[in-house]
Amino acid sequence: MTLFLDRLPKFASILLLAGVIDGCAAPPIAPFAGPEPSDPAAQIPAASYRSTIDVFANLRPVEPGRWKGNEPAPPASKPVSEPH
pLDDT, tens only, 9-56 = 899 999 999 989 988 888 877 776 777 778 888 888 888 888 887 777
Rounded to whole angstroms, the Cα distance separating 12 from 18 reads 10
Position 80 pLDDT exceeds 80: no
Position 74 pLDDT exceeds 80: no
Position 61 pLDDT exceeds 90: no
pLDDT of residue 25: 84
Q: Is the pTM of this model over 0.95?
A: no
- Residue pair 35/44 in contact by the 8 Å Cβ criterion: yes
Side chain identity at residue 50, one-letter code = R
